Each structure stands twice: as structure tokens, then as C-alpha cells.
A and B are shown apart, each in its own frame.
Chain A
Amino acid sequence: MQTTRRLWLSQCVGIVALADIAAAQQHAHEAVQSSTPPPFRTLDPATAAEIDAITSQIVPSTDGPGAREAGVIYFIDRALSTFDVDKREAYRTGMAAVQKKRQELFPGSTKIAALTNEQQIQLVQGIEATDFFELLRTHTLYGFLGNPSYGGNRDHIGWKLIGFEDRMVFQPPFGYYDGEQK
């Protein structure tokens, strides 16, 4: 077993309800099919824009598409309306604390989304040690790299970045060194 992952796994508990997953997948399909962005189910658009500003710092869109283009915010919205309903409160209090931090760092500012890129980076540095940031990071990376049927990882943006091919069957050689061996 792989230990650090286990530590992380031990901290996250999700509700498994097949109906919920089916609902999430249904919404994801709707999202993919329509050209206009799908409506949010749990988040209000203003909060969604604020969360999106932070997740876009976790995986920014520099040198190619990032969390925003992958639709991470839609994944988070689905998660909070299905298997992670019990994390809504953490988002509510977590975002309130982030807004407070923004006020502290940038008096007179009104929104995270309206901060400059440098200011946003500074803000994330100010919250990166919190449990809420860990939750955001977890959701962002699952949304960026998880199965697209949950609404994130659109067009396999995340998988393309890391070099993961989504296939059922692979033939050896798989990599450079086992290829060299043949």
C-alpha cells in the first residue's frame, strides 16, 4: 500500500449513493451537450465566480488550459449537490474566512475575482495552510483529473496535461525502459 495516499483517504469520507452519482452524470452529460454553460445546482453564480477564481490559481491557465477551462467549478457544484452534500457548510464557512482574509490583505477590494493575478496569488498563499484550502485543492484536482462524467476534466484537459491516455486495453511496452528491454 501506498502510505501518503492512505492518510489522505482516511480523511475523506463521501456518501456513496448510486442515484446521486447517476444524477451527477446526467447533469454532466447535459453540460457537455449544451453550448451555454449549465446552470448551477447548489452554488449561486456570485459564489461560484469567487471559488472559480481560487481554483484557477491552483491549476492556472498559463501555458494552456487549466481548472477554469476544465470546468472544475461545475464539478464542485455537482459534488456539493450529490456525494459531498455534507461539505456545503465547510464551503460556506471556508469562503467567509477567505473573504475576511481578502479584506485584511486588500482593504477596499470587493471580490476575489476582481483582484489582480498577483493579489490572488498572495491571497492563496495566505490561506494555503487551512483545512478549507485542502478541501478546495482536493476538489479542484478531482475535478481537473477525475472522470469527465462528473462535469469536470472537459475534453480530457486534465488528462492531456499529465499524459494520461484513457483506454481499456494497453499492450507492452508501456514505457521507455521496458521498450528498451525488448
Chain B
Amino acid sequence: MSATFRPSDVVDFLVIGAGAAGGVMAKELSTAGFRVVVLEQGPYLTEKDYRHDEIRYTYQAGLTNDTKVQPITYRKNESEPAKLAKAIMYGRQVGGGSVHFTANYWRFHESDFEERSQFGEVPGAGLADWPIKYADLEPYYTKAEYDLGISGLGGANPFEGPRSKPYPLPPMPVKSSGVLFDRATKKLGLHPYPAPMAILSQPYQGRAACVNCGFCEYFGCEVRAKSSTLVSVIPVAEKTGKCEIRPNSYVRKIETDVQGRATGAVYFDANRREIFQRAKAVVVCANGAETARLLLISKSKRFPDGLANSSGLVGKYLMWDTGGLAMGLFEHPLNEYKGIQVTRVIHDYYKADPKRGFYGGAGLDARFNYYPANFALQGMPPDAPKWGAEYKKMLSTYFTHTMTVLSHSSSLPQLRNSISLDTDVKDSWGLPAMRVTFDFHPDDVATLKWALAKQLEILEAAGAKKTWASGTAVEESMPSVHLMGTCRMGNDPKQSVVDRYNRAHDVPNLLIVDGSSFVTAARQQPTATIQALAYRGADFAIQAAKKA
């Protein structure tokens, strides 16, 4: 049923990247009657290709970008030489990061869109209000939750903005980590609630419910219960007969005409042949890191500094997946390796408060995201032996008796943090490698430390026999998996890359819809907001295209 188009066909929309946002775009545009081609650099895998194989999905690149073929360089700041490092990680296949993500599905709070007005200026940072408010996005959050299949308990998080509908599915079964977290946080006067997850707690739209297999984060779901775009919206798009998903298609340039309008894109196919696909409009959904890189590579006479970059802000204000880890050992078995990763959350410490003396806040969750070998390598306390008889003995109880409280904390937008093109390193297709420049703001570190104290307090209140925690060095947080900023949204074309509808200020028929348009990083878990922006962006693109 899936359509096939020729490169010479001028399709209505060319979508670049079939990930969390691209999948939504494909479905919305094709069901509205438009002809859509989606170019995805990664392969088209399905549930039959996935395995419970820790070696393949954590030791090897598995479902994520492979720095052997697409190297990345990293430096803390401009004065350092950039060195090869896997600083950034994302899903590289049809479905993108929605295939292997942990599936935490948090709406942003009302305050997230107005932090500059509410909190004030932060020295050294470019904190700004979004040009849209929570109320603008609320209908689209709801649409995403129903279209994709999200489990949760509406209204259970007292800090969340108003919602027009409850979740379509009840919460997932609570794990031992969730029970311990629930008890402890209530004892401390906090407000735990069931984690909203992009995972089916019951059968939904022809898909089966989760079977609690446990191989979830980093893995593709073998029963189609994880609500990736691969199993939810992409099949709907293909069924229209108007949408072609073209895998193994690595876009190397977005082309423009003399008027400065996008005309399509050149990509390498599986045999590394260059092909030009024509289109009336282009939608870039290549994520918060690759989108900026592609725009910077798409230089032309008319756009000498890269496409849509008259502001000079393409690639700037990169924000990071920031968070710290606290672990606790308990008397009885938790068997946390069974089931999904996260079942309980608190947002009591979410909002920034000037009284703390620094900007920032965090959402905390109860979880376990270790698999057997990873736990043995990295899950044990720092004071434990790393090998030998005693180590072996500890492993036999620690794996089943340990849980994590993780913080998801703020990451300030800073002009000096960026995605740019490496001047020396090329990828295996000869394109400039991605260069990441990133360091924490002092307030990011202050927030991490402050949150870690709260995390340990919770574990102790839960009765942990022993606790330990991660450090706060930026190197410990790599690779970043939440890719935000780099094509900031705003009303002023001099201060932003896209407008309030995700249209590029400089190119009228170019949309940029993914993590890159984020103005602030909230408290991580960006995917719900990325997808709400995609539903909203599609809505406006459809209206505009129908008028034209």
C-alpha cells in the first residue's frame, strides 16, 4: 500500500528523518491528502529484527548512530582542540529515537515556556521565553497521547498544567522501585505519581500490551507495545498510499532555487549514489544535532553560512541531557530487570526558585536501567572491588537488590555550546563530521548537586541499606541523548531560526520540526514536546498548503 515516487516527481512534502517528529509529520501530511517522501538514513527494521541481546544493543552501536562511519568530535570550549568522542547518541533507523527510548513521556509545564519572565536573567546564559505558551501546545499533547498510545494517570501530577483529557490508557504496573519511592516520597511530604509512558498498558489500536520483558531502553520492542512512530503513526501514513518511507537514504544537502525556496534534497542511497528528490516543501526532522549539521552543510551562494542561518544561530544554544544518578541497595529482592524502566516520578523540585541561589530544577524518577553485563561493569558502588572473589559474591545479591533514583535536571541555553562542522574530520561519505562544543553552566552543576542530595534523601527514607551516587563532571554525562536547541524558535528573525510555527524565518517553504527548535530544555524528556510541536507544525503547514 505504501506509495513509491520517482526522484523527478515533485512531491508535496519531503521529510528528512523518520524519527519521533518525522513519523508524526509523515502521518499528518499524508492523511491530509498530500504526497510525501520521507528520507531516512538508517535501515527499515521491524519487531522481527529485534533481539534480547545486550551485546548487540549496548556494547555495539545496535540501533544508534555508529561513530565508526559517522564520527563525532567533542571539545569543552572553542579554545580546546576537538577530539573524537561519542558525545551524542540518537536512534538511527525508521522510527529514530522513539524505537529504543526509555519512553518517559512528560509534558512540559506551563512555566517552562516562560522561564525568562518568571525567573529573570541568568548571567552567562541565553534564557528566553518561548514564543508559544503551554495552552498553544495542550491540544497537540493530547493528540499525541491518543494517536501514539500513552499510559498514565491524568491529574496525578499536581504540578502539571491543565489537561483537556485523561491519558488514553491506565498506568503501567508499579515495580518494587516504584513502591519504595512512593512510600519514601510520601513520608517526605512529596507528591509521587505513576510515570507517563509511551508504552501500552492494555491493547490499543490493534497493538498488544507490554509483556514486561525488561529489554526496553536501548532495545526495540518485540511485541510492538512501545509506542514508537515505527509501529504507531508510520503504518497509518503508509496505508494512505500517499507516503513513501525511503530508508538507507542519507541526505547531504537541501537544495534551493534563485528565489531562495527549497526545491528538494540530494541524498546518498544504499549504494552511495547521489539522488535528487524534488518537492514543493521540505520538512527537516533530523534531530537536535543532525538538523543543524545538515543546514550548515547546505551552503550555497545565496546562503553562504548555511541554510536558514541569517541569524548565525544555527547550531547554537545546544542543550544537554543532564542528570545525576543515586543508587540504593535494599534488604529484599526488587528484581528490577523485569518490566519497563520507570514507574514513579516526582515533580516537586521541578520549578526553578530564585531562593535557591541558582537557576534550575529537576524531575526525579525511580528506575533501573541496567542489563546483566552493564550492571556488573558500572552498577556497583564505587568502593566495591572491581574483580575477584568478593566482587563475584557481591554481584550475586546486588543485581537483584538495587534500584536507582535518577534526576532529570535543567540545562541552560548558552551561546557557546554548539553543533558545528569539524574542519578536519570527515564521515565515511566525505561530509564534514559533527563537532560538539559543550560545557555545563555553573548553575547546571549546582542543580545536579542539589538534586543528588534529594535523591539520596529519598533512598534513605525508603530504607536503603547502602547508597551511592554519580559525579557531576560533564564527561560523565556523555553521550547526550536528549538533543535540544540549535535552531531556536522565536518571533525575531535576528534572535532565532524558526518562527512560532516551526517555519524557517529565511526560507518560506522549509519547516524545522524536532528537538532543535527548543528554546529551553525544561527538565529533559523532550519527546512529548517534540511530537506535540510536530502535530502543531503539521496543522499549520496543512492550512498553509491548502490556501496556496
**Contact A176–B61 (Cβ < 8 Å):** no
Chain B, range 456-493, C-beta contacts under 8 Å to A: 470, 475-479, 481-482
Which residues of the partner chain A approach B336 to less than 8 Å between Cβ atoms?
A: 174-175
Which residues of the partner chain B approach A181 to less than 8 Å between Cβ atoms?
A: 174, 179
Which residues of the partner chain A approach B173 to less than 8 Å between Cβ atoms?
A: 172, 178
Which residues of the partner chain A approach B375 to less than 8 Å between Cβ atoms?
A: 162
Stretch at the interface among A36-44, A57-65, A88-96, A108-116: A57-65
The smallest beta-carbon distance between A59 and chain B, in angstroms, is 5
The smallest beta-carbon distance between B530 and chain A, in angstroms, is 16
Which residues of the partner chain B approach A35 to less than 8 Å between Cβ atoms?
A: none
In angstroms, Cα B466 to Cα A122, docked, is: 29
Which residues of the partner chain A approach B404 to less than 8 Å between Cβ atoms?
A: 2
Q: A4-B476, A168-B213 are in contact. Are A177 and B179 (CB under 8 A)?
A: yes
**Contact B387–A59 (Cβ < 8 Å):** yes
**Contact A10–B389 (Cβ < 8 Å):** no
Q: A147-B53, A174-B176 are in contact. Are A162 and B400 (CB under 8 A)?
A: yes
Q: Does B180 contact A (CB under 8 A)?
A: yes
The smallest beta-carbon distance between A24 and chain B, in angstroms, is 9
The smallest beta-carbon distance between B484 and chain A, in angstroms, is 14
Which residues of the partner chain B approach A13 to less than 8 Å between Cβ atoms?
A: 61, 66-68, 86
**Contact A137–B388 (Cβ < 8 Å):** no
Number of B residues, CB within 8 Å of A:
76
The smallest beta-carbon distance between A11 and chain B, in angstroms, is 8
Which residues of the partner chain B approach A132 to less than 8 Å between Cβ atoms?
A: none
**Contact B67–A176 (Cβ < 8 Å):** no
A3, A7, A58, A159: most-surrounded residue (chain B CB, <10 A) = A3
Q: Which of B52, B61, B378, B481 contacts A14 (CB 8 A)?
A: B61
Chain A, range 46-83, C-beta contacts under 8 Å to B: 57-60, 62-63, 66, 83
Q: Does B22 contact A (CB under 8 A)?
A: no
**Contact A137–B387 (Cβ < 8 Å):** yes
**Contact A175–B325 (Cβ < 8 Å):** no
Which chain A residue has the least Cβ–Cβ distance from B470? A3
Which residues of the partner chain A approach B51 to less than 8 Å between Cβ atoms?
A: 147
Chain A, range 1-31, C-beta contacts under 8 Å to B: 1-10, 12-16, 21
Chain B, range 390-422, C-beta contacts under 8 Å to A: 391-393, 395-397, 399-400, 404, 406
In angstroms, Cα B393 to Cα A138, docked, is: 18
The smallest beta-carbon distance between B427 and chain A, in angstroms, is 14
In angstroms, Cα B398 to Cα A161, docked, is: 11
Q: Which of B62, B178, B325 contacts A178 (CB 8 A)?
A: B178
B46-82 interface mask toward A, CB cutoff 8 Å, 1 = contact, 0 = none?
Answer: 0000011111101111100011100000000000000
The smallest beta-carbon distance between B183 and chain A, in angstroms, is 8
**Contact B86–A147 (Cβ < 8 Å):** no
**Contact A124–B52 (Cβ < 8 Å):** no
In angstroms, Cα B323 to Cα A5, docked, is: 13
Which residues of the partner chain A approach B481 to less than 8 Å between Cβ atoms?
A: 1, 6
Q: Does A141 contact B (CB under 8 A)?
A: yes
Q: A60-B388, A137-B377, A168-B211 are in contact. Are A3 and B396 (CB under 8 A)?
A: no
**Contact B388–A142 (Cβ < 8 Å):** no
**Contact B477–A63 (Cβ < 8 Å):** no
**Contact A147–B333 (Cβ < 8 Å):** no
**Contact A176–B211 (Cβ < 8 Å):** no
Which residues of the partner chain B approach A162 to less than 8 Å between Cβ atoms?
A: 372, 375-376, 395-396, 399-400
Which chain A residue has the least Cβ–Cβ distance from B58? A9
Extra A-B contacts (8), CB below 8 Å, given A58-B388, A162-B399, A164-B337 = A3-B325, A16-B66, A21-B56, A124-B387, A162-B400, A170-B339, A172-B174, A174-B175
11 A-B contacts (beta carbon < 8 Å): A2-B404, A3-B477, A4-B378, A5-B378, A57-B387, A63-B393, A164-B400, A166-B52, A177-B180, A177-B332, A180-B179
